[in-house]
Homo-oligomer: A and B are copies of this chain.
């Protein structure tokens, strides 16, 4: 049987594995840890790295919070449940080198009225990549790797969750996707997946544990690739789109802002430096233009 404390424990271990894996990968800087408590119940462990060799700014956040369900959430979920429990690991990394992509991962578990027969619970999460410059080979590697993780649990997961990511990570007002997508899933239960709670939990942990190997591969060649001011300015511009997505559309961020959560943990995903240039037009046939043309839904990167 699923036990919420064990889920939180395992997620916490995954945070440990990821932060030590990333410290090794970065090679220069260590994470700083901040433990925080939530006035209404529970708390978290925010770990942030700034000005590393590879990572300019990144956060790996663990939290396990519980208490009375905020009114805003009751409304959004159309429920009359009173209590909630939520635990998860969230990551966003902004690299120095514009050739290295931004990466985001989240695994989470949510439960309402845990001790009740009528309790509602589900898993959610995903992993997606936002390159400043899209490199075909890396995009294909990433999607194939994630597809393999999905296939281990259910062959329907990848196609379904890939489409979900395309739809979710979409910057409607720009008519462009945030990046090359990945997978996104929410409200997974045995009913809608055809696999047991334990197997969904395992899938969730497999997604979490895929993070370090995936990112290690994505940075292998790109982190040492030369760049100049022009690439850096392009990176700042792409980061501004990332900021727009997070502040305007991201559910987790919006939820955090509306429920007066710990603001520095919620916004640790924001870029260290971003720029908005009026009416920027990419040069014809440039790598910038090629990237913009690939910010579309329904590209079959795993094919």
Query: B-contacting residues of A (Cβ < 8 Å)?
Result: 34, 48, 50, 57, 59, 172-174, 236, 240, 243-244, 247-248, 256-257, 260, 263-264, 266-268, 270-279
Interface centre among A48, A236, A267, A278 (most CB of B within 10 A): A278
**In the bound complex, CA of A22 to CA of B82 (Å):** 56
A267→B236 CA distance, assembly (Å) = 16
A59 contacts which chain B residues (CB < 8 A)?
Answer: 278
Number of copies: 2
- Which of B57, B247, B278 contacts A264 (CB under 8 A)? B278
* One of B260, B268, B274, B278 near A275 (C-beta < 8 A): B274
Judging by beta carbons under 8 Å apart, are A278 and B240 in contact?
A: no
Q: Which 5 A-B pairs have the closest CB atoms?
A: A270-B276, A247-B247, A173-B257, A273-B275, A48-B278
Query: What is the minimal beta-carbon distance from A34 to any residue of chain B, in angstroms?
Result: 7
The CA of A172 and the CA of B263, in the complex, are separated in Å by 11
Chain B residues closer than 8 Å to A267, beta-carbon distance: 244, 276
- Report B-chain residues with C-beta under 8 Å of the C-beta of A260: 172-173
Can you list 29 A-B contacts (CB < 8 A)? A34-B279, A48-B279, A50-B277, A57-B276, A59-B278, A172-B257, A173-B257, A173-B263, A173-B266, A174-B263, A236-B273, A240-B270, A240-B274, A243-B274, A243-B276, A244-B247, A244-B267, A247-B247, A248-B257, A264-B278, A264-B279, A271-B275, A271-B276, A272-B276, A272-B277, A273-B273, A273-B275, A274-B274, A274-B276
B277 near A274 (CB under 8 angstroms)? no
- Within the complex, what minimum Cβ distance (angstroms) separates A47 from chain B? 10
| Distance between Cα atoms of A270 and B274 in the complex (Å) | 10
| Complex contacts, A50 vs chain B, CB 8 Å | 277-278
Q: Which residues of B contact A263 (CB under 8 A)?
A: 173-174
Q: Are A272 and B272 in contact (CB under 8 A)?
A: no
Give bound CA distance, A274 to B267, whole Å: 14
Chain B proximity of A302: nearest CB distance (Å): 31
Alpha-carbon gap, A275 to B272, bound state (A): 5
Question: Which of A50, A266, A276, A279 lies at the interface centre, i.e. has the most chain B CB atoms within 10 A of its CB?
Answer: A276
User: A178 vs B205: C-alpha distance in the bound complex, in angstroms?
Assistant: 41
Q: Name the residue in A57, A172, A247, A279 with the highest tally of chain B Cβ atoms < 10 Å from its Cβ.
A: A279
CB distance from A257 to the nearest CB of B (A): 4
* Chain B minimum-CB-distance residue to A257: B173
The residues of B that contact A266 with a CB separation of less than 8 Å are: 173
B-chain residues with CB within 8 Å of residue A236 when the two chains form the complex: 273
The residues of B that contact A57 with a CB separation of less than 8 Å are 276, 278
A48 to B277 CA separation, bound complex (whole angstroms) = 10
Contact in complex: A278, B268 (CB < 8 Å) = yes
Give the residue name and chain of the B residue nearest to A48 (CB). B278
